[in-house]
Amino acid sequence: MINYDSIKHVRGESQFVDDFIPFEKILYGYVFYSPIAHGLIRSLDISEALNMEGVRYIFTYKDIPGQNQVGGIIQDEELFAENKVEFVGQPIALVVAENFLVAKRASRKIKIELEELKPVFDPREAYQIGSLIMPPRVFSIGNIDQAWSQCDYIVEGQVESGGQEHLYLETQGSIAFPVENDCIKIYSSTQNPTHVQRIAARVLGTSMNKIEVDVLRLGGGFGGKEDQATHWAVMAALAAKKLNTAVKIILPRQEDMRLTGKRHPYSSDFKIGLDKNGKIIAYEVTFYQNAGAAADLSPAILERTLFHTTNTYYIPNVKATAFSCKTNLPPNTAFRGFGGPQAMFVIESALFKASRVTGIDYHELQKINLLKENDEFPYGQKAKNCRAKICYETLEKKFELEKVKSQIIAFNRQNKFIKKAYSIMPICFGISFTSTFLNQASALVHIYTDGSVGVSTAAVEMGQGVNAKLLEITSKMFSISPSKIKIESTNTTRAANTSPTAASKAADLNGFAVMEACEIIIKRLKKFSAQLLNITDENKIEIKNEYVYVHNQKTELNWNELIQKAYLNRISLSAQAHHATPDVYFDREKSKGQPFAYHVYGTALIEVTVDCLRGTYKIDSVKVVHDLGDSIHPVVDLGQVEGGIAQGIGWMTVEEVIYNENGKLITDALSTYKVPDIYFAPDKIEVHFLEDSPNPFGPFKSKAVGEPPFMYGIGSYFAILKAMLEFKPDMEIKFHAPMTNERVLMSLYKNIKEKVSNHFMNAGKI
């Protein structure tokens, strides 16, 4: 074998300090995308754009050295469209120029001829013509066919829930640059560094060890960067390789909104059967998931919908069928809750409608059917450490539900047009990736000779505070000050083959991995301390508050000295550990198993005021009893609960994703897409963490927190609905989220419906 560096040295390709690319030489990429929802590409003429001053190159599928394929679960998505486009916003080319504006202007000079094909936007319509992403999935328990005869009441209905824009503050983006040996280094705003690495290698036709992905932090991801950060990272890598310089792609907000997928809209049918006491005997449901034009994460999201079919209720006979419908919208993707919220909105709608038919209060029905210890979920797992009932009852007591009710009654008696109502939303959310193999993570811990510590893991910080938790865990493990510890960027060369930071699992998985890596080093340090201090039994050694203790007695030996001495005695001060969640499995053929390490429970009380003349409303308060286990970081966890609630309320109320009849997104700016702001957010969010509820399956007995609180927001829909019924008891009830102001008004005043919808049709055409 010749020397590893010989060829590079001779060719002048080896990089020395002076050779690193100065970032002022960076080039900028702008994505040219399909203007139509469905069609064949007849011709593409880039010549005029390419000749513009400052334009360096225009990439199409023809420039791809490897595969033109970015699909993850299913390989059905091209990086650049070759012959066919399937949604407005589908990338066709990448213009690379000396600055962003030149690249953008040049993209306008690209000429494309398209032959339009008929698009489909509605998931039921897609289902009718057999346009499915994959075969249907069914979860069932008991015997649904026999169960109907035991029911005193059977209620059927249809439920619609809308999409949701992620609206992370930092839009999608990436910088890639070439490194010697045909390698590429990528800085990416991704939740999934390994996925970027894998797909970049595939598209570039190279091996994964030639791609390094580094993530410092994200300005939010919310699921939108689990799969869909990849495209821009891979395009930047492709351009960096070909042009041999650094290339940056940052999507402007409007393009980010147009080009990327969102939360999946669902259309669903339910049939629920109850006995005369309100016990649910049977529940049959069909979900039509609007997947958009490619699979992306839809199959996994569809599966989680099925896992959360029954929310936090025990139902002995269930049949849930789910179709992932392929339509001509941007591929929809992961979003906080990952398909769970869509299922929970349906079961709550079913209970709400059942309460109208049976005359049993909606919240009574919830309580009657709450999960109990050892109850079986439709997927075969049994509820353990079940905290459904305790959360619900603690909420009723702690927040004085009876008093709230009587205050609302008194208010409504005195007010004709302004009505108040409350609703209660109990949740149960399964913690683990439902794809069992993803439940793994690793950590690499170094102690440096001055006693400071560096920690690398697979976790990506995206505002959720995972770094704060990992810092806390490391500090507890070594019993040293947090100021001595640094959490490093997430890098594929330090944590390889990582799972995405998703499924609320990052702190659990990476927290355990950090604990295990620290434990390896602690063992070495204890053994070494015993030698130093002439103690025969190293088990009598403890490291506490930066000092070594023997038999609980503080010694003179402090942390910094210990580390110095250990180094001089050639003791390794680094360790790597891998953690895999024990005892989780799932049989996809049978749709049975134990997919979750545990469940998170909680209950929310939401109070609203609706102006029944104007259709406007206010979320007055959200009060929650939430099961967190023993929190590692109560402030971070509180922030997660509050943020999740605001985002969940937004999905149910003001956030409406609208495409026009040609599949073009018309809510593609903050002027047309409304999100909860500080004025809209509830005046009062009160969160009570369930006491004395350690979680045996989390690091330091903690529980995952990222996604579950999102689903409290569902209660806001029913609270508004209840207030509307106070005003107009005979109103026709529809389960169609989001419950925007327009929808409130149109439901209360049927005769103005046409007028208002004409107005919006016209607005849509602008």
Residues classed as catalytic: 707
Residue 402 CB: number of other CB atoms within 10 A?
A: 9
**Considering the rule CB under 6 A, would residue 223 count as an interface residue with ligand MOS?**
yes
β strands within 671-765, DSSP E: 684-689, 735-736
One residue of 227, 627, 668, 707 binding ligand MTE per CB under 6 A:
707
d(CA 77, CA 94): 16
Nearest to 494 by CA among 439, 544, 520, 457: 457
**Considering the rule CB under 6 A, would residue 226 count as an interface residue with ligand MOS?**
yes
**Considering the rule CB under 6 A, would residue 434 count as an interface residue with ligand HPA?**
yes
What distance lies between CA 761 and its chain's CA centroid? 32
One residue of 109, 225, 304, 592 binding ligand HPA per CB under 6 A:
304
Binding span for ligand HPA by CB under 6 A among 13-21, 114-122, 255-263, 428-436 = 428-436
d(CA 735, CA 162): 11
Contact 327, 291 (CB under 8 A): yes
One residue of 335, 586, 710, 735 binding ligand MOS per CB under 6 A:
335
Site string (635-654) toward ligand MTE, x via CB under 6 A = -----x--x-----------
The partner in contact with residue 304, picked from ligand HPA, ligand MTE, ligand MOS, none with C-beta cut-offs of 5 to 8 angstroms by kind, is ligand HPA
Site string (494-523) toward ligand MTE, x via CB under 6 A = -------xxxxxxx----------------
Size of residue set near ligand MTE by CB under 6 A: 21
Which residue type does 639 have? G
- When the beta carbons of 297 and 612 are compared against ligand HPA, the nearer one is 297
Beta-carbon contacts of 540 under 8 Å, excluding residues fewer than 6 positions away, are: 530, 550, 551
**Considering the rule CB under 6 A, would residue 458 count as an interface residue with ligand MTE?**
no
Binding span for ligand MTE by CB under 6 A among 401-409, 448-456, 628-636, 700-708 = 700-708
Q: At what angle do helices 714-727 and 741-748 cross, to 10 degrees?
A: 30
3-class DSSP state of 483: helix
One residue of 438, 477, 509, 690 binding ligand HPA per CB under 6 A:
438
Element (H, E) at 107: helix 100-107
d(CA 709, CA 716): 13
Give the dihedral sign, CA 258/261/266/267: positive
Number of H helices, E strands in the chain: 20, 30
The partner in contact with residue 466, picked from ligand MOS, ligand MTE, ligand HPA, none with C-beta cut-offs of 5 to 8 angstroms by kind, is ligand MTE
The partner in contact with residue 462, picked from ligand MTE, ligand MOS, ligand HPA, none with C-beta cut-offs of 5 to 8 angstroms by kind, is ligand MTE
**Considering the rule CB under 6 A, would residue 227 count as an interface residue with ligand MOS?**
no
What distance lies between CA 477 and its chain's CA centroid? 29
The partner in contact with residue 579, picked from ligand MTE, ligand MOS, ligand HPA, none with C-beta cut-offs of 5 to 8 angstroms by kind, is none
For tokens 């930047």, the residue is 236
Contact 295, 312 (CB under 8 A): no
Contact 602, 673 (CB under 8 A): no
Binding span for ligand MOS by CB under 6 A among 329-337, 397-405, 680-688, 722-730 = 329-337
Element (H, E) at 587: strand 585-587
The partner in contact with residue 300, picked from ligand MTE, ligand MOS, ligand HPA, none with C-beta cut-offs of 5 to 8 angstroms by kind, is ligand HPA
What Å distances lie between residue 610 and 296, 653, 677, 714, 724, CA to CA?
39, 12, 18, 16, 7
One residue of 55, 428, 502, 622 binding ligand MOS per CB under 6 A:
502
**Considering the rule CB under 6 A, would residue 306 count as an interface residue with ligand MOS?**
no
Binding span for ligand HPA by CB under 6 A among 86-94, 109-117, 408-416, 427-435 = 427-435
**Considering the rule CB under 6 A, would residue 338 count as an interface residue with ligand HPA?**
yes
Query: Least distance from C-beta 448 to ligand HPA, angstroms?
Result: 35
Beta-carbon contacts of 609 under 8 Å, excluding residues fewer than 6 positions away, are: 418, 419, 420, 617, 618, 620, 723
DSSP lists the bridge partners of residue 442 as: 578
One residue of 114, 274, 300, 506 binding ligand HPA per CB under 6 A:
300
One residue of 28, 32, 121, 222 binding ligand MTE per CB under 6 A:
222
Binding span for ligand HPA by CB under 6 A among 297-305, 348-356, 628-636, 743-751 = 297-305
Contact 612, 633 (CB under 8 A): no
Query: Least distance from C-beta 338 to ligand MOS, angstroms?
Result: 5
3-class DSSP state of 441: strand
Contact 177, 247 (CB under 8 A): yes
**Considering the rule CB under 6 A, would residue 362 count as an interface residue with ligand MOS?**
no
Beta-carbon contacts of 408 under 8 Å, excluding residues fewer than 6 positions away, are: 420, 421, 422, 607
Across the beta sheet with 280-292, the strand order is 137-141, 317-326, 280-292, 266-274, 153-161, 735-736
**Residue 695 φ/ψ, nearest 5 degrees:** -110, 110
Size of residue set near ligand MOS by CB under 6 A: 9
Site string (672-691) toward ligand HPA, x via CB under 6 A = --------------------
- When the beta carbons of 58 and 334 are compared against ligand MOS, the nearer one is 334
Binding interface with ligand MOS (CB under 6 A): 191, 223, 226, 334-336, 338, 502-503
Binding interface with ligand MTE (CB under 6 A): 220-223, 336, 462-464, 466, 501-507, 640, 643, 704, 706-707
Binding interface with ligand HPA (CB under 6 A): 226, 297, 300, 304, 334, 338, 433-435, 438, 502-503
